[in-house]
Structure formats: C-alpha cells, structure tokens
Structure 1
Amino acid sequence: MTRRTRTFSLMATTVAIALGATACGGSSSTTGSGSPAKGGTLTILNDADYNHIDPQRTYTTEGSSMDYEIVRTLTGWDETGAHPKLVGDLATDTGTPSKGATVWTFHLRHGVKWQDGTDVTAQDVKYGVERFFSPDINGGPPYASQWLVGGSSYKGPFKGKQLDSIQTPDKYTLVFHLNQPVADFNETTTMTGWSAVPKAHDTGATYDLHVWSDGPYMIKSYSHGKELVLVRNKYWSRSTDPIREQNVNEFDAKFGQDQSAIDQQIKSDAGTGQTAITQTPIAGSDLTTIANDPSLKSRFYKIPAPGINYMAINTGRVKDIRVREAIEDAVDKTTVRGAFGGSAYGDYATSVLAPGIDGHKNFNLYSTNPAGDLAKAKALMKQAGNPKLTMSLSVENIPTHEHFADAVKTALAKIGITVNISPLDKNNYFSIVDNVKNQYDLTWGDWIADWPNASTILPILFDGRQMKTLPQSNNNLAYLNDPEVNAQIDKAAKTTDINQANAAYGALDEQVMKDAAVVPLMYMNFSDLGGSKIGGVIDDTIMAEPSLVHVYVKS
C-alpha cells in the first residue's frame, strides 16, 4: 500500500523468510501470560481521520488496522507467534485451490453473526467483493478486477447485476474463478475488501460512516474528521474468531490534533494519555527525543516497514529525462530525513525495493552523497538548456510534510527550478493525488507492501496501463508509461521460479530508476507511542502498525 498503505504479494513460500528479516524486535508488549483485563476505554489519537473504513475502499494501513476490529476477512494473519501465520478468518481454513490455482474454494464458519444477530453468509461475502467493481466505490486495491473472470467489464452490484465468477453453491461456500493461476490468492483475501457486506445495510458512497459489523466491535457514532466510537458487538463470539479478542469495552478514536501535541500527551502518561495510543507516526520533531528516551522503551513501538518514502516525478509533465535526473541528484536527503525525524525514521533509499523485500538489490544510479551532487545536477540542467521551470509539489498539510517540502524547494532552487508547494488535506490526500484529474509535477508518497514481495510494489506503482483502467485509483504517481517497464511487469508476473522472479523484479526496479520516475528518500520505520496502562499490543509486521486485536486496558 502506499501511504501507510498496502500492496499485495505473490509467493507465499517466501513470506516467512522475508518477514523474519523485517520483523520488529522489541519494544512492544504482547498478551503475555494469564488472562488480559476486561473493560475500559482505549483512546486512539490520530492527527487526521482515516482515509476510509469502508472495507472495499480503504487502502491505508491505519484504516485497515481499524477495520480489523469491525469486519472480518476470508483469511487473516495470526501474529501471536514468531512469524505471521496465515489462517482462516471468516473461512474455516485458508482455502482450497484447484484447476492449477485458477479456482479457489472457501467454506465459511457457522455461527458468525452480524451486529443484529443474523448470520453472515457466502452471499454477503460475494456482494462485498462485488462492491470492489463499482465506479462509486473507488480507492481500494485492484486485484479483484485484475484476477476475477469478467472483472474487467463488471460495474458492480448496485444495479442488480452479479459477477458470475464468484459462485455461492450454498449458504457457506464461495468459489472464485480466476483468469490466471494465483498461487497465493488466499493471501489477497486477508485484505479488508474480501469481507462481507449485507446488501440491506449498504449505504454506498457513505458506507464509511455506517460499516456493518461482524467483528468484535461496531460503530456507535462517527463524526467524520472528529471522532469515531466503537463499542462491543454483542453477537460476536470468540469461539468463531481465531484472530481477535474483545477485551476493552470501547475504542474512542479522536482526530484533528497536531501530531506533536498527540506525542506529548501520550508521552506525559497523564490522564487519558495512560490509556491512549497513536496509529500515525511520531512527528519528525519528536521522533529522535522519544526514540532515545529509555523511560519510554516499553511503550515505544518501532516497526520496520516493508516499504519506502519517496517523491514521484510526473514523467508526463516533466518530460526531459535530463531534468528528472537533475532532480534525483539535487535533492538533499539529509535535510529531507531530518524533516521526518532523522536516522530513527529510516535509512537513506537508493531504490524502490527496500532491503528485506524479495527482489531487492543494492544499486545507486545517482548521487552517492545523501546530501546530493549539485555539480552533477547543474551539468544535467545545462545539457537540457538551463530551462527556468516552475513545478508543483503536493504534500499533506502537516508540519512534517511542510518541512519536507521546504527542503525540496530549497534544493531545487539551486538548479533553477521554482517549487510551488501544494499542501493537501491529510484526510483526503490519497483520494486527491490518486485521481488522474489532479496531477502535480512532484508528489510525495509512501508505499508499504501487503507482504514483503516486489510483486506487491512495482506493478502497482509503475504499470502505465492502470492510468486508464483505474483513473480514480491510480497509484502510479509518476505517470510512468514505459513499454519496457510494462513488458517486464508482465514477464515477472508469469515467472513461476522464485529466484528468476526475484531477479526480474530487481531488474525492473533498476529500469524504473533509469527512467528517473521517483526520488527514493528513505526505507522507513514506523514509530508509535502508547500509554503505560495499555497491554496486548502486537507489532503488525504486515502493515507496520501496532495491532490492537488483543489490546486491553490494565486495571
């Protein structure tokens, strides 16, 4: 995913190895021995509201993490052990492939209930997945439309039409027919879009505010941009759920405070700060201080993210590759990293694929000095005719991003490029920049793999064909449409040998960098803070979030 977001991976056999390399050591509390305390309210303090919690629309890690308290997916990740384990969630197991992994069958658990006590059925899951295809429900991942037979022309269920490649032979059985073999389709189904939605309670474009629950918690109230309150779903049963617990009475998510104020409130550990946690990263100005404070170690969650912080260069608007290469060399990553919190935030990046992701290889096509190479950048601009350019740069309207934008503006001014900064509402940032109607010359982004495999990153970020097929959900912020890149994406996707596939993705990463489509900034860590009276927090190494599925408030 971009943005504390997610993408999707391909080779299930490599997941455990890759996650072992990236799993967080240390600082989070786990459920421990004995029974967790019951009751109390957990406060979540985020600087902005979730982009979406409609399960078919959310594609951010914060939104998905919150959704896992409300909705259940066909399969899921049990993260209580040393490595995440794929398990059945709504399904009794992780599914059965047939016909060369082009058909997948799932059987639902009996006794799973909606918040009104009615049964969750296969038809509810089918309808939920069909929502993926509606033009009115956009923003989520593209895999259903890419893989399900007939998906490319299906327009969703709102006019009464169904997708025949999703079959429900009975109340508890689902059969998916794919247009290609997908060996780890059952990992895709861990994403929130593969959850049930009851047709009678679907409010379409406003479902964000009315998500119907089959999980342990349900929406009590939701004032968008201000507060989301979840309370217990009395019809949820632990006996049918292998992943979640229902320990706290209530989740109270509050939005809109400055992130630095949130950090200080939780750091002080006074009042509600004792039972509060943040899902959004610690602000750049606070990160170094908090990360180095030994008194906070037990409630500081530093989770290495399988992803990258980057700045996309719009190749359709910035057409001269010499100018794009000059931008690569001119950006001072030392000041950029300082804006995000310094070395605690992550290592300098030189490629799109981060270390620990299958397919990553070490290479650097541009400045070997993280502070940049102005002489080289100026020489490239001279070759381009020393154009006096003005470029737009989109960032979220938060202090960390504004400091980042200032660093870019200062660096590019030295090579004759004027940067106009466009701060966008953080609540809607990716809804804006993912829409092809809203293009910028330079765009800040970040991307986290759904699982640590290059197949969940490079095809999503750089396949030029998605600009046409997904005009409102385009993750290709570089607007790269290189036929060679597109061909390499197709070749890698069809490669069944894992070593050959990894090599293909490594070569693809290098081709993207030869196109100067993005400036890779940092391989990220995500750091969050919780109060002293919170227990049961798990490092979610899939989404680089503090997982709350076992959380409790200490009495």
Structure 2
Amino acid sequence: MTRRTRTLALTASAVAIALGATACGGSSSTTNSGAPTKGGTLTILDDADFNHLDPQRTYTTEGSSMDEEIVRTLTGWDETGSSPKLVGDLATDTGAPSKGATVWTFHLRHGIKYQDGTEVTAQDVKYGVERGFSPDINGGPPYASQWLVGGSTYKGPYKGQQLDSIQTPDKYTIAFHLNQPVADFNQTTAMTGWSAVPKAHDTGATYDTHIWSDGPYMMKSYAKNKELVLVRNKYWSRSTDPIREQNVDEMDVKFGQDQGAIDQQIKSDAGVAQTSIMQTPIAGSDLTPIASDSSLKSRYYKIPAPGINYMAINTSRVKDLRVRQAIEDVVDKTTVRGAFGGSAYGDYATSVLSPGIGGYKKFDLYSADPAGDLTKAKALMKQAGNPKPTMSLAVENITTHEHFADAVKTSLGKIGITVNITPIQAANYFNTIDNVKNQYDLTWGDWIADWPNASTVLPVLFDGRQIAKLPQSNQDLSYLNDPKINAQIDKIGRMTGINEANTAYGNLDEQIMKDAAVVPLMYMNFSELAGSKVGGVISDTILAEPSLVHAYVAH
C-alpha cells in the first residue's frame, strides 16, 4: 500500500505464510491519555485530498484510515494491545475456513445499521465486493479477482450480473468460494474492499463523495480538494463494534495547505491547532527539529512502516542493464534521505523487503557507501557506450519531493543523464502513475505491506503480468516483466512451509535487485504531530498511520 499509499496485493503465496507474520512495532501511547471526553470537533489536516474514499477503490493508507471511521469490514484489527489482533468487525468472528481453506464463511452481527437506520445484510456485503469488479470502480487491491471463483472474467453488478462464488444463504451469512486454498483470507477481509454497500445508495464512480455509512461517522459534506466533514451516525452502536468509539461530534478534514504550514500550525498549538492532527507525514525540512524537540514528545508519533521508499526504473524504457546499475550506484542516498527529513525518516535501504517483514534478507549489491560510488557508475556507463540519455522523473508536487527530485537530478547528472522532473498533483499522483498510458523513466514510490509479509510486497510490485491485466491500476512501476520472476512468484505461491517460502522470497528480492528494477532508498518511519488537546490516538502499525478510532478532544 502506498502512503497516499497503497496496501499490497497477495497472491497464492500468502496461503500459509502470513499466518506467521506479526506487525512491525510502533508505540500505542496516546496524547492526553486518560478517560476520553465526549463532544467537540477533531480537525484533520492533509496536504492533499484522498485519491479515493470509495471503499472498493481506495488503496492508500490515508484513504483506508479515514474509511475506518465511515465503513466497517468483515474483519478488522484491534490495535489497543501490544500487537495488532485480528477480530470480527461486521462478522461475529474471524471466519471459518472449510474444504481445505477454499471456502470461507462469515456470520454477520445482528443490529448493525446504516446511517438511515436500515440493517446491514450479507447481501450488502456481497454487492459491495462485487462492485469492485466493475471497470468503473478501479484502483483497489486485486485479491477478489485473483481468488474468487469466476473473478477473472466477472465485470461487476451494474448490468445485473452476480458472482456465484459469493453465496448468501440468509441475511446474516456470507460464504466465499476460492479457486485455491488461502489460509489467511480473513486478513484480506480486513481491507476496505470487503465492506457493505447498499445497492440503492450506490452512485457508481461518484461513490467517493456519497459513501453510505455503517460506521460511527457519516458524510455531512465533501468538497473535493477543500474539505470533508464527518458527523455522528446516530444509528451506530458501540455494542456491535469491537474496534471503534464515537467520541467527537465531528471530524473536519481540511485539504490543501503546504505540509510545512501544517507542521508549523500544529506545532504552535494555538487555537484550533490544539484540537488538530495531521494525517500526512511531517515535511522533510521539519522532521529533525520536531523529532528532537522534547517539548513536543507527548504529541509526536513515530510509526515504523512495514515498507520502503524507492525509485522505480522503467525497465521497458531504460533497457540497458548497465545503465540501470549505474543509476543504482550513483544515487546519493544521503541527500535523498535529507530531503525526507534525515535519519528520523528511516535507515538506508538496500533491498525491497524491509526488516520486520517475513522473507527479509540482508544484502547489498551496489555501493556500500550510501553517498554512492561515482567511479563504479562511470565505469558501467562507459561499458554501455557512454550514452547521454534524458529521463523523466515523476514525483508529487510537494516540497519534500521537489528536494528529492533535485537530489536525484544532481546525482544522475554526474554520469551524463539529464533528468526532467515531472511534478504531479499529490491527490492524483498514484492514479496517474498507476495508469500504463502515463509512463515515466523514473518514478518515486513507496510501499507498505497490507500485512507484514513478502507475499504482500514482491508479487504486487514485480509480477509483470499485471501490466496488461490492470492497465489503470498497475503497481509494477518498474514495468519488469521477467518470465523467470513471474514463474518464481507462482512457485513460491504453491509453497506451504513458511520458512521455505520466506527463504525463496529473500532470494527473489536479490534477483530483482540484480535486474536493477528499483533503487531502494529508505526503510521508512512515518511521523505525525497532534495538538495538545487531542487524545486517544494510537499507532496503527498495519497502515503506519495515527489511528483515530478512539480519538477524542479534551475540553
């Protein structure tokens, strides 16, 4: 998942592997700890709008985190303890597998209600999952189409078609028939795509701004790129919800300020800033001074993320392996990390898989010096015939990314590569780069596992078959389509031993790095700041976001 972010897609490899995974650490401490107070408005400041809130379309951490306030999923994560615990959400429990984990059955809680007082049914969950197959509802995780019988050819419910592999024998029971065993399917159903949508209130491609709530909050108004206002859903009941609370009267999400301005506003702790929290990371230029300011410690969140910050090299455009390897060697990661905030942002990365993810293997194929190896890079370019290419670099149009892009441009200029920087509006960034019609030579990306296992990283980012299969939501930004790597992904997917699969994923990571498909930059931490009157915030280590499900404002 990216930060404005996607979560990851699983393939068959997830079957037994993710069962052994645990989430990365992160403090569950809260600001203003104590008994929550009721009422008031929590203000949430974001530098850009969500690319989607439609639960079947969002594939970003911010969108998914915000959706937790509006919609409920079959299962979910209780993160009040020392580590995340999978629990039933809409469902009474975490589901029952049968027929060798090819059938999963869930029983819904009675009395869960939408914002108009009508009850949530199994048929609504079935419809919600089905609508995600429509070509008009694109961008979300591909699990359903991968795993549900008939999913590869199903085109959604809008022309009256149903997916027979989703069975609803009664109002409270739903069963999914899979084309393969998936032992951790119930972790997939914690993602927003497995939420209920009442057919009568589905507005199709415009559902982003018309979501029908069964969570604690409902949409009052949504002016894209300006403001989202959520108010209490009076029909939500804490007695049916094991995850969320409904402490504040209103959540007011404001978009469009520069991240640096957001940082300074919340740091000042004046006026409305006291009851505000940011959802996007502290700007790189502000991170070190804020992280080192002891007076801000009680309202500063540093959440280790199960993922990396990276630059993809488009292998279909930058075809010479030696040129790609030269880029790997010459990028100065010290200046790049400085753009994102320095050491507080994370450690230098040398692999796609990050420490803490099942399958991580420590290796470094390129410059041992994070500042780069110019001599080695120049030698590789000489072997390639000393080309003088011009390459486009896609980044978000935010200050941190501008500094990152300048660092890359300077580094690559030393080996004769001219870089043209292409800033893209942050709210539309992933919609743009994930569309195969919008190809760039170099693309900034980050990735957070849907849950911390290699099965939710490498298959999504490097299975080249998805380029043609998912032209509007392709996650393979390096356009790597190596039959040997694709075959290895399938082979690992059939393994049932966790250790065997993890070893194979570590080796696959190393092979991908030999192909110089991406430049790993940092193993990420995400840092946010809240006002002094914001309480109940916990660190969501699945999404690497400050979770607001227990948030309140002190009076």
Per the TM superposition, whether the score is higher than 0.5 is: yes
Contact residue 32 and residue 533 of structure 2 kept, 8 A = no
Q: Distance in 2 between matches of 1:538 and 1:376?
A: 46
Partner of 1:5 in structure 2? 6
- Which amino acid is the alignment partner of residue 197 of structure 1? V
Q: Distance in 1 between matches of 2:209 and 2:139?
A: 16
Contact residue 15 and residue 452 of structure 1 kept, 8 A = no
SS of the residue 1:481 aligns to? coil
Q: Distance in 1 between matches of 2:467 and 2:170?
A: 38
Which deviates the most, 137-146 or 5-14?
A: 5-14
1:140-188 deviation digits (Å, cap 9, x = unpaired):
0010000000000000111111000001101111010000000000000
1:87-129 deviation digits (Å, cap 9, x = unpaired):
0000010000000000000010100011000111111000000
1:406-461 deviation digits (Å, cap 9, x = unpaired):
00001101101000000001001000000001000000000000111000000000
Partner of 2:167 in structure 1? 167
* RMSD between aligned residues: 1.2
1:339-364 deviation digits (Å, cap 9, x = unpaired):
00000000000000000101001100
Contact residue 15 and residue 451 of structure 1 kept, 8 A = no
Partner of 1:448 in structure 2? 448
Q: Please give the residue correspondences for 1:367-406 in structure 2 after superposition, counting only pairs within 5 Å.
A: 367-406=367-406
SS of the residue 2:151 aligns to? coil
Q: Please give the residue correspondences for 1:453-532 in structure 2 after superposition, counting only pairs within 5 Å.
A: 453-532=453-532
1:250-287 deviation digits (Å, cap 9, x = unpaired):
00000000000000000000000000000100000000
Return closer, same or farther for 1:509/1:491 CA change in 2, 3 Å cut-off.
same
Give percent identity, aligned residues only.
79
Contact residue 21 and residue 358 of structure 2 kept, 8 A = no
Displacement of 1:12 in angstroms is 7.1
Report how many aligned residue pairs link the two structures.
551
Q: Distance in 2 between matches of 1:23 and 1:343?
A: 18
Matched, 1:194 2:189: no
Partner of 2:266 in structure 1? 266
- Which amino acid is the alignment partner of residue 6 of structure 1? T
Q: Please give the residue correspondences for 1:301-320 in structure 2 after superposition, counting only pairs within 5 Å.
A: 301-320=301-320
- Which amino acid is the alignment partner of residue 511 of structure 2? Q
Matched, 1:29 2:33: no
Q: Distance in 1 between matches of 2:338 and 2:246?
A: 40
- Which amino acid is the alignment partner of residue 38 of structure 1? K
Partner of 2:209 in structure 1? 209
1:27-61 deviation digits (Å, cap 9, x = unpaired):
x417855x410000000001000111000000000
Q: Please give the residue correspondences for 1:111-510 in structure 2 after superposition, counting only pairs within 5 Å.
A: 111-510=111-510
Partner of 1:76 in structure 2? 76
SS of the residue 2:176 aligns to? strand
Q: Distance in 2 between matches of 1:25 and 1:191?
A: 22
- Which amino acid is the alignment partner of residue 332 of structure 1? D
Partner of 1:18 in structure 2? 22
SS of the residue 2:168 aligns to? strand
Displacement of 1:11 in angstroms is 6.2
Contact residue 17 and residue 496 of structure 2 kept, 8 A = no
Contact residue 21 and residue 453 of structure 2 kept, 8 A = no
Displacement of 1:8 in angstroms is 4.6
Contact residue 43 and residue 254 of structure 2 kept, 8 A = yes
- Which amino acid is the alignment partner of residue 367 of structure 2? S
Contact residue 9 and residue 459 of structure 2 kept, 8 A = no
1:366-387 deviation digits (Å, cap 9, x = unpaired):
0000000011001000000011
Return closer, same or farther for 1:8/1:86 CA change in 2, 3 Å cut-off.
farther
Q: Please give the residue correspondences for 1:539-550 in structure 2 after superposition, counting only pairs within 5 Å.
A: 539-550=539-550
Return closer, same or farther for 1:227/1:12 CA change in 2, 3 Å cut-off.
farther
TM-score by length of 2: 0.98
Displacement of 1:483 in angstroms is 1.0
- Which amino acid is the alignment partner of residue 29 of structure 1? T
TM-score by length of 1: 0.98
Partner of 2:59 in structure 1? 59
Contact residue 349 and residue 521 of structure 2 kept, 8 A = yes
- Which amino acid is the alignment partner of residue 48 of structure 2? A
Q: Distance in 2 between matches of 1:157 and 1:459?
A: 28
